[in-house]
Structure 1
Amino acid sequence: MNQQLQDRLNQIPEKILSSEFLNSQGLGNEIGFWIFDYDPAAELEVREYIKFLENMLTKKHSKVSYVHINLLELLVQYLNSRGFVEKAIALQQQKGDDALLKALSGPLHMDKFAPYLVETTQAAAKNIVFISGVGSVWPLLRAHNLLNSLHSLLGQTPMVLFYPGHYDGQSMRLFGKIPSDNYYRAFKLIP
């Protein structure tokens, strides 16, 4: 792992455990949505760090409730709950990726998926929400669409999106190459 990434990761606990972060204070009435962007080549290291972070919170800060949502795992769970997994696999094999994307656009619309995410994980009742797996679910789910939909559902619960790409404070570029369709307002967790 490169030293710059390690230094940024090491700053996360102090940031997320601060009362300002946990209470979404000092954000000018904005919801506490934070993005930790990183080089996609460091995906495995970031995954390991998230495990470390969860372990640290559980053992040393048990009063801070959190949920870590891996979007790929939740997406599969959601599609299974709706009876779509086998159908989706068959469709993809018979008609290809484009047909699958089109067929899943309705069931995966954020008006359906975002409420499922919040209800299933009880995210709004937690002190912190971590979301990972953005790169694993692209192009089925788009991070900026998810974040926009979660605004009204999470209330004042702070959320950290681990993002394999680049976020400059105004726009997101997945994998450092694929621009988001919309401007998004969130805060950079660690510059």
Structure 2
Amino acid sequence: MTSLQMRLDRIRDRVTSEEFLHGRGLGNDVPFYAFDYPSASEEQVNNHIEWLLDDLSRKTALHVGVVNMLELAVDQLKKRDLYTKALTMERSKGVAALLSALKGPLEPGKMAAALLDKFDAKPIDMLFLTGVGPAYPLIRTHSLLNNLQPLLGSVPLVLFFPGRFSGQSLQLFGDMQETPYYRAFRLVD
């Protein structure tokens, strides 16, 4: 079995390849990729992503968009003056009531649009999505990806996913119920 560090070390070559950047070999499928990893390795993966972004900015002309999903959710709530209210609601009414109340403001279509708004001024060559685990259950990954499909066009997306991706389904943290999502490809094996 390939170690996580060996898989991380192969990301740079993969995301700088012509095949990846131009969606070659995908037929008409969307260029969405998942890099799954054990949730206990979140810090190792985040450190590698930080190194990778620095390396790509110094050694290539590629523009990589990075969005931490939890930070995006918090930003959206703050923009609508709902963040403090959400914290108060969680304390007074509980998590279930909070999640119900946030379904509208954090609806996947709105989150997809907010995500893309971050890159209006500067086109990107690829998009990295991080912070998926901490954003759960506020943001459901498969719903967000479904909403991003028609909006991203040919821009490759890499989902850094703390759990398992079988090629057919996403299983957050490796122990939650599987969610069918068959439109993505494994970034590296």
Q: Shorter-chain TM-score: what band?
A: over 0.9
- The percentage of aligned residue pairs carrying the same residue is 43
* Cα distance in structure 1, aligned partners of 2:169 and 2:121: 25
Describe the superposition over 1:35-66 as per-residue Cα deviations: whole angstroms up to 9, x where unpaired.
Answer: 000011101000100100111011111x1111
- Structure 2: stretches of 5+ with no match in the other structure: none
Aligned residue for 1:140? 138
* Cα distance in structure 1, aligned partners of 2:18 and 2:7: 20
* Cα distance in structure 2, aligned partners of 1:170 and 1:6: 24
* Cα distance in structure 2, aligned partners of 1:119 and 1:79: 15
* Cα distance in structure 2, aligned partners of 1:121 and 1:136: 23
Match of 2:67 among 62, 66, 69: 69
Paired residue type of 2:9: N
Contact 2:168–2:181 under 8 Å retained in 1: yes
Aligned residue for 1:96? 94
Aligned residue for 2:165? 167
- Structure 1: stretches of 5+ with no match in the other structure: none
Aligned residue for 1:125? 123
Match of 1:186 among 174, 184, 187: 184
TM-score, normalised to structure 2's length? 0.95
Aligned length: 189
TM-score, normalised to structure 1's length? 0.94
Aligned residue for 1:52? 51
Report the aligned-residue RMSD.
1.6
Instruction: Please give the secondary structure, in 2, of the residue aligned with 1:121.
Output: coil
Is 2:12 aligned against 1:13?
yes
Describe the superposition over 1:127-149 as per-residue Cα deviations: whole angstroms up to 9, x where unpaired.
Answer: 01000000001011011111111
Contact 1:91–1:99 under 8 Å retained in 2: yes
